[in-house]
Structure 1
Amino acid sequence: MNETNSRHYAPEPVSPDEAGQRLDKWLATRLPDLSRSRIKGLIEDGRVSLDGATIADPSCRVKPGQSFQVCVPPDAPAIPEAQEIALSVVHEDEDLIVIDKPPGLVVHPAPGNLDFTLVNALLAHCGESLAGIGGVRRPGIVHRLDKDTSGLLVAAKTDLAHRGLSEQFAAHTLERAYRALVWGVPSPSAGEIEGNIGRNPRDRKTMAVVAGGGKTALTRYRVVQIYAGGAVSLVECRLATGRTHQIRVHMTSIGHSLVGDKTYGRVRSGRMASFPEEARAALTTFPRQALHAFLLGFQHPTKGCTLRFESAIPPDINALIKILERV
């Protein structure tokens, strides 16, 4: 919580007559420049602390004498700028555009990534007509992929398309499937992973399967291929819900984190003791989570027809697979 240009607040301690109030409500009365919804978001993002300990729950009840600290990051520009960035366009019509996103491209501006995002690229590609679709900060965006996840993503070019696509995402009626390289081989070879996903109470910058709270999440998986004597496998995951980092969190929860995942995984060096140097180096230095959104299907929001797109496994993951096939 030490980002440059962040604003820091330290309201007066909780008074006896304020005891029992929800934390977000209490902070809203002490910090009138911030809305209650903004404060709730700050708490969920791990930006409110008590005596140095991060507070996880906006609904927790305050106690007399408690002193809270609030860190507010700098805002992203209100209106992103159009920037010429090459895009791999899979499909485009007057209502929507489907992109095959490369790894390393952030979807929309946010603190730490204020420009050179997919939104900036879409504004340049689609023109100013996109600027007001779905809100000025995230024009056209109805879903997103993590920065280092590659694959298919759809964006709206009209308000009608934005509403129609958003409704399908909310109802979980789209078809979405991913391919991932994971450590080990899940057992059984096909199944479902259920578990509410919410902020990790031990690290508010990450997500976790939580015992209380969070949002329901369901991932269906199947093993596609096994490599290197079972050290790594290629898994297909299909989302029944769309939670932040869902596949990465769910696969980690059953003991099979993604290769290259610096946040939720760890290098399984013990499995590689007998591997050739090329394979050990490729696995330990793979620079991102090996996750690719290869399938996206939905109803066209204005024409009513079914659209379905597939994307080949990208070169970096494919190169790693080729190495593993030789082990």
Structure 2
Amino acid sequence: MTGEQELEETTPSDGSEELYERMNLKVDKGQEPMRIDKFLVQRIENASRNKIQKGLENGMVLVNNKQVQPNYKIRPLDEIVVYSDKEVHGEEIIPEEMPLNIRYEDEEIMIINKPPGLVVHPASGNYSGTLINGVAWYLQQKNHAINENNLPRFGLVHRIDKNTSGLMVLAKTERAVRSMAKQFFDHTVKRQYMALVWGDLAEEEGTIVAHVGRHQRFRKLFDAYPEGEHGKEAITHYKVLERFGYTTLVQCVLETGRTHQIRVHMQHIGHPLFNDDTYGGDKIVKGTVFSKYRQFVDNCFAVCPRHALHAKTIGFVHPGTGKEMLFESELPADMQQLIEKWRGYITHRPV
């Protein structure tokens, strides 16, 4: 029913969601109570009640960001998100004008600095408003011989999810797709992220080794499996950059690229990302009981209304020239403001 697919051989990721957001609904104020499976049958074309019930049981439908059963009765103003594991094929991509922050481009590759809140790829039933729609339009403008029927085959060789900001590389030729896919598969691509996490890490730096796989009960989530009995091997190296008492700014370097790897690994060691509503960071994890502190944290959530994760650098060997390339991006405004607020707080905190 919708998210982001991870194929480690071709599209490794962090934060990318294997499920595609197909439909986002807000229940009307005047809606009478109704079973959610019945409600969705009326709104999803060609969907059977049995299929929807299975989707509900498998965590493919969330109400107010929580999994519900088929007998749940919807209430006015409920927010419903329906997911799918089916990705849109290239021929279904609709070019759409949107601003793109292109950091570099040549005949083989594009480097794009993705803002937070932008979905990377269309999904079944949700064809517009994504980064790939914007790239298709951009390429069409560069070559007016291109139309909806002959869009160039550009490749996503890795992904970052909707609420992660930062650098992505897109391959524009088959040679670039093959080269970049192999580099990601061989773990030779240099990827550095910055994250604000809850808590004061005990060590200045460390390595997290734990398999990452889909949660065995809640299908939208991923989990860490330290014994390796489930999921795929995942390795994250972290280093403390700045401490704020109750939160810490860290640098994370990916050795592997599993779905939600940084978010899952940091939660696994007890330090979820700040304001990560999927992995427990959207509430006070560390701090005091004072109302002023609670208000401060709420203000921080408002400043950065998403998990605090940014793909800061990416480095690889150019598919055509063979030269080493390294790109770096600045922190987006929301994370900059968030960090400044925590700097101010720790500076003026009573001893």
Q: Do residues 271 (structure 1) and 287 (structure 2) align?
A: yes
Which residue of the partner structure matches residue 96 of structure 1? Answer: 109
Cα distance per residue 1:163-209 (max 9 Å; x no partner): 11111111110000000000012222200001111110121111001
TM-score, normalization by structure 2: 0.70
Instruction: Report deviation, 1:109.
Output: 0.5
Contact 1:219-1:250 at 8 Å conserved across structures: yes
Contact 2:206-2:238 at 8 Å conserved across structures: yes
Q: Do residues 318 (structure 1) and 342 (structure 2) align?
A: no
Distance 1:191 1:272, change over 3 A: same
SS at match of 2:296: helix
Q: Do residues 5 (structure 1) and 82 (structure 2) align?
A: no
SS at match of 1:7: coil
Cα distance per residue 1:251-292 (max 9 Å; x no partner): 000000001100002312661445557632223433100000
Matched-pair identity in % = 39
| Runs of at least 5 residues in structure 1 that lack an aligned partner in the other structure | 12-41, 54-70, 134-138
Contact 1:179-1:234 at 8 Å conserved across structures: yes
Which residue of the partner structure matches residue 219 of structure 1? Answer: 236
Distance 1:257 1:112, change over 3 A: farther
1:115 partner letter? S
Distance 1:315 1:272, change over 3 A: farther
Which residue of the partner structure matches residue 164 of structure 1? Answer: 179
Select which of 258, 264, 267 maps to 1:243.
Answer: 258
Per mean C-alpha deviation after superposition, the further-off stretch among 202-211 and 2-11 is: 2-11
Cα distance per residue 1:93-150 (max 9 Å; x no partner): 11110000000111110146421111111111123498352xxxxx421111010000
Contact 2:300-2:341 at 8 Å conserved across structures: no
Q: Do residues 131 (structure 1) and 151 (structure 2) align?
A: yes
SS at match of 1:288: coil
1:231 partner letter? Y
Distance 1:256 1:81, change over 3 A: same
Contact 1:259-1:283 at 8 Å conserved across structures: no
Counterparts in 2 of 1:57-68, with a 5 A limit? none
Distance 1:174 1:300, change over 3 A: same
2:316 partner letter? F
SS at match of 2:277: coil
Select which of 269, 272, 277 maps to 1:254.
Answer: 269
Cα distance per residue 1:36-89 (max 9 Å; x no partner): xxxxxx9xx766xxxx89xxxxxxxxxxxxxxxxx9778746420111110011
SS at match of 2:200: coil
Counterparts in 2 of 1:11-50, with a 5 A limit? none
Distance 1:119 1:234, change over 3 A: same
SS at match of 2:183: helix
Q: Which runs of 4+ in 1 moved over 6 A?
A: 71-75
Separation in 2, partners of 1:281, 1:254: 24
Separation in 2, partners of 1:302, 1:291: 31
SS at match of 1:262: coil
1:309 partner letter? F
SS at match of 1:326: helix
Q: Do residues 154 (structure 1) and 169 (structure 2) align?
A: yes
Higher relative contact order structure (alpha carbons within 8 Å, sequence separation ≥ 6): 2
Select which of 291, 300, 303 maps to 2:321.
Answer: 303
Which residue of the partner structure matches residue 221 of structure 2? Answer: 206
Which residue of the partner structure matches residue 25 of structure 1? Answer: none
Separation in 1, partners of 2:84, 2:313: 37
Select which of 109, 112, 120 maps to 1:107.
Answer: 120
Contact 2:275-2:305 at 8 Å conserved across structures: yes
SS at match of 2:136: helix
Distance 1:75 1:325, change over 3 A: closer
Contact 2:242-2:248 at 8 Å conserved across structures: yes
RMSD: 2.9
Between the two proteins, the alignment pairs up a number of residues equal to 269
Contact 1:6-1:74 at 8 Å conserved across structures: no
Which residue of the partner structure matches residue 75 of structure 2? Answer: none
1:180 partner letter? A
